[in-house]
Structure 1
Amino acid sequence: MDTYILGTGLSHDGSTVLLKNGKILVAIEKERLTRVKHDGGNDFNTVQYCLDFAGIKASDLALIVQASNFENNISPGQYAGRRYFDGYIQTPVITLSHHLAHAWSAVGMSPFEECNVMIVDGAGSPYAQCLDLEGTTTPSYPFSNGMYCEKDSFYHFNGKTLIPLFKDFSEVKLFQECHSLKLPTNYHSIGGLYHAASQYCFGNMNDVGKLMGLAPFGILNGKPPLFKLESGIIEVLYKNVDAYFNKPSSGYDTFKNDFKHYADMARWVQDETEKAIIYLFKERSKLYPHANFAYAGGVALNAVANFKLRRSGIVKNLYTQPAAGDNGIAIGCAYYGWHEILGQQKASIPDHVFFGRSYSNDDVEKALSDAGIIGNTAFSINQTTKFVALTAEELGRGKVVGWFQGGAEFGPRALGHRSILADPRIKDIKNHINSAIKFREDFRPFAPSVRIDDVQKYFIHGWESPYMILIDEIKPEWKNQLDGIVHRDGTCRVQTVTSAFNPDFYQLISDFEAITGIGVLLNTSLNRKGMPIVETPAEALSLFLSGAIDVLVLNNFIICKHHDLLL
């Protein structure tokens, strides 16, 4: 009899994951269904999605494990509406603390039989709600005098048990409103300061990826440290924050009119964040030295800091959980249930992150019909088994392609199932996609997708990076030719592709190389600014029709615009 465990994350960036016999069967982020970026809270629709995919009922679940920030301190409206488990009291429901869920997500997804685990984010659970305090070293804070929440946690996984070794906390000083949620700003956390800098530069605390992209346009100008790094503890130096964070942006016009100031601030915060992360790994490694590290929490998505950490040599083998942010805590909940509650051994790890449901050709045909494309002379539709080779030809002609295949990626990066693709050699391709398709700022970079066989040909370090959460440096001889995927500082957030991970995408890159002599594609997510990555064929078509994507590939359907008939 099959054993199903459901993990669900109720924080911002909510999600639900279903394990079948210890392996991920399906997973979905709430924002993909509601179309509200970073959506969280009530999980009815994500649970329904997973149960429908599996063809089971909630009563078929062996166990439900959930986690959020601030279980007892969230605004009452967060869970508004009926939850799927109402009335199913025969299925045990377990609530997990935040960093423990992050940690199990890293352990469950990692390739290591044994490893250290580092969790770094903005804020986790309050001290009183943490389930992993026994045997853990924590600094002495007046926990009874305020709300102190997790800011970084360190564990060791010995192959069977996750052992907490050190947890640091910080008092919560401020609450920010985000959709229906009230999210914490942890006073002394790395992630909290990074979110604050995002709010300062862009007027939005969730534009942390944009902040990382802005940093190379700035200079340091001899600014003082932002963190006190002492005795293994990280504290924000607020006297330095207050001295420089004195012109908060009120929106894009403010930002654009003082671009240099905000770029310099982004560079400062990024540089200080890198130092703090390296310090943290160095100090925690002294507590329990080990060659392997699994890493999660929102700060783990900082691809530039990951590069600096890897280059430092402090960690020999680093695995960063692809959905390291709060969208990944549902994975940790599910794995916790499998290992800790049911006492099962670690199952084989997934070899991809395409955990969404696939859409059939019938779904595609219905979407085409509903969009009025079938029979419309402004478009051509070609359903063919040669869709990969023909798509490579379109890319070789300079077309921008929307690429929709199989189940959606779980996590923040488009990895070849929900992607916008282009030839990186095209002059000004970055500006074209940013302005006419993504409708976003012109400083935002694009990633290269390259076969693992060729990564050392184009990039200096040539590291394996299947999930696009590690940067590399372009080799000088390719910088001008591949300008579309090279950022201001000569770096690229690389995705390495194997035939096992994504056979059609691997073949597409191979066919593109056969045509152009270049084995690299520009790859960005199939969405526009402020929009979650598309989930359905209908959403992909809507994006295709409202912007400058030339060709859309839905499964084996190739839809081309005849631009002269669309004028």
Structure 2
Amino acid sequence: MIAQRSARGAEVVLGLCAYTHDSAAALLVNGNLTGFAEEERLDGTKHSKAYPARAVAWLLDRAGLTANDVTAVAYNFDGRRYLPALGQLPDHLARASTRSRALPRSRSFLTVHRRYRARMRELSQWFPHARLVPVLHHRAHALYSFLSAGVDDAAVLVVDSLGELQTTTIWHAAHRDEQPFHLRLAAAIRDPASLGYAYGAVTEHLGWRRGDEEGTVMALAALGEPARFRDVMSRAIPLTGDGFTLDPGLLPLRVLSSRYPRTSAEFTAVTCPPRPPDAAVEPVHADLAAALQERTEQVMLHLAGRATRLTGSGLLCLGGGVAMNCVAAGRIARAGIVDEVHIPPAPGDSGTAIGAAAAVWLDTTGQPPTGIGGRCYLGPAYPDLTLSAEPRPGLTAERPADPAQHLARQLANGTIVGLFTGPLEAGPRALGNRSILASPFTHEVVDRLNRTVKFREAFRPFAPVILADRAADYVQLGQPSPFMSIAAPVTALTGSRLPAIVHGNGTARVQTVTRHQHPFLASVLAAFGEITGHPVLINTSLNIKGKPICGTPEMALDCLVETGLDALLLEGWWVTKC
């Protein structure tokens, strides 16, 4: 099929994650990725569900295009595939454990299908000259995960809560010069068996926001004892020969409505009462989190092993929301199942905007798009930013002659600094362009960051960023980790000299940095290493709990004013409080 061209002669594919959590947009022009942005970083609403109007406007403006120039809109769900859920109705009605939810479940899937059709009509009005192409959600995840790795062969494992009816898929991807691009679905698990659903259900039971604070539960797990609820979680998420299932007596059948709780009265009886969000965190909560995390790791290891057997590939690409579980990813990396684990910078739903656009380009031309492999700094940048000497009341700004050296010296003196530089990074991890940096030498820094800057639970750990050629001195990783996606055991040196980056389970979720990947951050690390002996820093996201990573200079200045940050390096401007 020949792709239609815009009035300006370009083939323009706009990929969208819209009308659902983590709204985002990506743009391919003549098959090359020109940019990607998550709407939350621009509208200030964490996990924004809006149509990504700001992200789309930025992408088109940067490319010198308008909505009329878009030739195809790739949507990251195929709403027609919700309808097969109706075929599950007789089986759910026949079982006592699912009967009460069978009809509400079917009605909820019909409702989502109707909403999908309405959204397609809305998109056709936004882009009157474009083809609207729905893309299978897990295919979008798989394509992005593989293409971001920049390799020619890999197994791809996608695990999330729900994509149409799929919750877990295994793919074999290959791209060699002499052969056509190949992405084959090797296995699939359908809802109601969903690891993402289970993790979200227990997250909510423990008093944190499902779809947002699963990472908090993962962090809490390091402080608990899994044996207390090991049998419960094994019963809730049984392993099978081809994957896993869920016990509906403990984790009830999914209904696409918040009115239906995701844990049962029986689950409460054998674990603990639901924890109110403002209640104290007790040992029982840590123990339940630990059992959940342990079972998640067991399931992920089981699935990873099956992926390698089905594909014969030595590289495993992970995608979907569960791929953000860095502890499980670390377990897979250390298990000897594969040679290397790759996780893209945006493994959750926002990244499917890139994957959906890639799918449309691939299906149209037979060729994969370019510009995706190894890239994470894809969003808006503000290189020409100019500040006055007093950018806000109570703030002063100046331009140091050598920003990297200045920042390193300040960090060595114990200053906590926000860093806003270059294009906005993709995904949930701050990777040096929208980061908060601090010295890793004392626990007091961690306490201060949690208490006065991030305003979050004291047990939450902070991740390190390390020069890649020195990473082996500090973490037992054995592979690059440019997107801060893998938790690895720390070395004895780290445990004794850099306690602030060590979590309760003896691991650290590390970002490795090369000069090619991030010249400025590498220079800061090298300078900090010359001063302190260790090219390692705490790196956490430039935001406050409950708010998205700062995508604009104004948001960054707000973060400085509203938190205990000492300073902000904003596109070369050193901003401090008077």
TM-score tier by shorter-chain length is: 0.7 to 0.9
Amino acid at match of 2:457: E
Q: Work out whether residues 467 and 512 of structure 2, in 8 Å CA contact, stay in contact via their aligned partners in 1.
A: yes
Q: How does 1:246-257 map to 2 (within 5 A)?
A: 246-253=272-279, 256=280
Secondary structure of residue in 2 paired with 1:217: coil
Q: Matched residues in 2 for 1:390 and 1:351: separation? A: 29
Amino acid at match of 1:365: L
Secondary structure of residue in 2 paired with 1:353: coil
Question: In the comparison of the two structures, how many residue pairs are matched?
Answer: 513
Structure 2 counterpart of 1:548: 564
Amino acid at match of 2:340: N
Identity of aligned residues (%): 30
**CA pair 80-348 structure 1, distance change in 2 beyond 3 A:** closer
**321-330 or 456-465, which moves further after superposition?**
456-465
Structure 2 counterpart of 1:22: 31
**CA pair 351-105 structure 1, distance change in 2 beyond 3 A:** closer
Q: Matched residues in 1 for 2:356 and 2:540: separation? A: 29
Structure 1 counterpart of 2:153: 114
Shift of 1:488: 0.9
Q: Does residue 1:5 correspond to 2:13, yes or no?
A: yes
Structure 1 counterpart of 2:446: 430
CA deviation vs aligned residue, 1:445-489 (integer Å, no higher than 9, x gap): 100000001001111234310101101111123213211111112
CA deviation vs aligned residue, 1:327-366 (integer Å, no higher than 9, x gap): 111010111122122222453544330111111334x427
Q: Matched residues in 2 for 1:80 and 1:2: separation? A: 26
1:520 to 520, 536, 541: 536
Secondary structure of residue in 2 paired with 1:93: strand
Q: Matched residues in 2 for 1:54 and 1:531: separation? A: 29
Amino acid at match of 2:17: G
Q: Matched residues in 2 for 1:514 and 1:227: separation? A: 49
Q: How does 1:174-193 map to 2 (within 5 A)?
A: 187-193=192-198
Q: Work out whether residues 109 and 349 of structure 1, in 8 Å CA contact, stay in contact via their aligned partners in 2.
A: yes
Q: Does residue 1:51 correspond to 2:73, yes or no?
A: no
Secondary structure of residue in 1 paired with 2:317: strand
Q: Work out whether residues 195 and 208 of structure 1, in 8 Å CA contact, stay in contact via their aligned partners in 2.
A: yes
Q: How does 1:61-76 map to 2 (within 5 A)?
A: 61-68=70-77, 70=79, 73-74=111-112
Q: Work out whether residues 148 and 374 of structure 2, in 8 Å CA contact, stay in contact via their aligned partners in 1.
A: no
Secondary structure of residue in 2 paired with 1:121: strand
1:343 to 341, 362, 366: 366
**CA pair 192-354 structure 1, distance change in 2 beyond 3 A:** same
Q: How does 1:377-388 map to 2 (within 5 A)?
A: 378-388=394-404
Q: Matched residues in 2 for 1:69 and 1:39: separation? A: 20
Q: Matched residues in 1 for 2:324 and 2:40: separation? A: 18
Q: Work out whether residues 378 and 425 of structure 2, in 8 Å CA contact, stay in contact via their aligned partners in 1.
A: yes
CA deviation vs aligned residue, 1:287-331 (integer Å, no higher than 9, x gap): 332222222111111100001111111122322122111111101
Q: How does 1:353-368 map to 2 (within 5 A)?
A: 353-362=376-385, 364-365=386-387
Q: Matched residues in 1 for 2:566 and 2:123: separation? A: 41
Q: Work out whether residues 391 and 397 of structure 2, in 8 Å CA contact, stay in contact via their aligned partners in 1.
A: no
Shift of 1:83: 5.0
2:464 to 448, 459, 472: 448
Structure 2 counterpart of 1:162: 183
**CA pair 402-491 structure 1, distance change in 2 beyond 3 A:** same
- Stretches of structure 2 that go unaligned for 5 or more consecutive residues are 1-8, 81-109, 176-180, 252-266
Q: Work out whether residues 148 and 375 of structure 2, in 8 Å CA contact, stay in contact via their aligned partners in 1.
A: no
RMSD: 2.2
1:218 to 198, 220, 224: 224
Shift of 1:213: 0.7
Secondary structure of residue in 2 paired with 1:50: helix
**209-218 or 86-95, which moves further after superposition?**
86-95
Q: Matched residues in 1 for 2:371 and 2:114: separation? A: 39
Secondary structure of residue in 1 paired with 2:273: coil
Structure 1 counterpart of 2:303: 280
Q: Matched residues in 2 for 1:355 and 1:387: separation? A: 23
Q: Matched residues in 2 for 1:221 and 1:318: separation? A: 28
Secondary structure of residue in 2 paired with 1:295: strand
Q: How does 1:283-432 map to 2 (within 5 A)?
A: 283-347=306-370, 349-362=372-385, 364-365=386-387, 371-372=392-393, 378-432=394-448
CA deviation vs aligned residue, 1:240-278 (integer Å, no higher than 9, x gap): 66253441112122xx1x421111011000000000111
Secondary structure of residue in 1 paired with 2:411: helix
Q: Matched residues in 1 for 2:444 and 2:144: separation? A: 40
**CA pair 470-298 structure 1, distance change in 2 beyond 3 A:** same
1:152 to 168, 177, 199: 168
Q: Work out whether residues 53 and 357 of structure 1, in 8 Å CA contact, stay in contact via their aligned partners in 2.
A: no
**CA pair 34-87 structure 1, distance change in 2 beyond 3 A:** closer
Q: Work out whether residues 23 and 350 of structure 1, in 8 Å CA contact, stay in contact via their aligned partners in 2.
A: no
Shift of 1:506: 0.6
Amino acid at match of 1:106: S
Q: Matched residues in 2 for 1:313 and 1:325: separation? A: 25
Q: Work out whether residues 33 and 370 of structure 2, in 8 Å CA contact, stay in contact via their aligned partners in 1.
A: no
- Stretches of structure 1 that go unaligned for 5 or more consecutive residues are 126-148, 171-186, 373-377, 563-567
